[in-house]
Structure 1
Amino acid sequence: MSVLVADGDRPREGGPDRKVVDVAVGVLVRENGDFLLTSRPPGKVYEGYWEFPGGKLERGETVEQALRRELHEEIGVSIAAIHPWKVELVDYPHALVRLNFCKVFEWVGELQMHEGQLFAWQSLPVTLQPVLPGTIPVLVWLAEERGFTDATQLRA
């Protein structure tokens, strides 16, 4: 697995023996292909950056369990089936993160931003800025699935 290095010019916290933090990430996709992005909440690292919703796995949790819990806690929806999709390792200055991306096509409940974040349904090209570095590979994967060949079509 390759490692995406975010903000490579900044020092890494925790030294060379950093533990990997596992994160479950939901790529919620509507029937028309639009996908949900949320902003990083106030007070968190990369505050205001746009990302796919999700969060850290707690001890003993599976990716599916964590994703169900996190999406309910963060955005107020209960999800149906999850579809494990891709895994990306991202080396942020504050943490080494393994992002477990899962597609979600069905959910129940109205979106409620419980952490003060914003949300937006997007298509390609994404019109929001700034986008969290770990989100960019997902935009590439979505573009590949949709037949885009020009990387400039990912973000406006």
Structure 2
Amino acid sequence: MNAIVHDCVGALLVRGGRLLLGRRAPDRAWLPGAWGVFGGHIEAHESAEQALRRELREELGIAATRLRPDAILVGGDAGATWRLQLFVVEAWDGEPQLRQPQEHAQLAWCSLAEACERLAGAHPEFPAVLADALRDDDAG
């Protein structure tokens, strides 16, 4: 029996040494109230980059103008696996704001320490991925 694989994308939006995270709405069926990166599922007709651009428009009202692939994280169990393709969003048009309150209740620009704490349970590789994204921002 093959496990279901959920292919997803996530955005590492970095500005001024901080990362943008969203807190899921408390009534969500999956991970209610949990902090995470913005993004979502890749539709059958989309590339990962197309999916991320769509999700950022829908969730935050921004248009990514420059992004680059960063990491792929895999998790889950025997019944369902998720594969999260992360992109560092280096530039965008617009100011991020919550456009889907049924999805996210809050957004916050977080320091590396805050982001690592909020994403601690999501995946053990998140701290290194977040640190790399911020290091690249500092170099730019």
Tell me the distance in 2 between the aligned counterparts of 1:86 and 1:102: 7
Runs of 5+ unmatched residues, structure 2? 136-140
Deviation at 1:142, TM superposition (A): 2.8
Question: Deviation string for 1:42-91 (max 9, x for gaps)?
Answer: 32311110001000000121010000000110111111121001001111
TM-score by length of 2: 0.80
Residue 106 to residue 58, structure 1, CA distance change in 2 (3 Å): same
Report the AA paired with residue 46 of structure 1.
L
Q: CA RMSD in A?
A: 2.5
Higher Cα Rg: structure 1 or 2? 1
Q: 1:114-148, CA deviations, whole angstroms, 9 ceiling, x for partnerless residues? A: 2222100011211786537335522232336768x
Distance in 2 (CA, whole Å) between partners of 1:143 and 1:132 is 13
* Residue segments in structure 1 that go unaligned for 5+ positions in a row: 1-15, 148-156
For 1:146 and 1:111, the matched residues in 2 are separated by: 18
Give the alignment's TM-score, normalised by structure 1: 0.73
Give the corresponding residue for 1:131. 119
Q: How many pairs does the alignment contain?
A: 131
**Which residue identity does 1:22 align to in structure 2?**
D
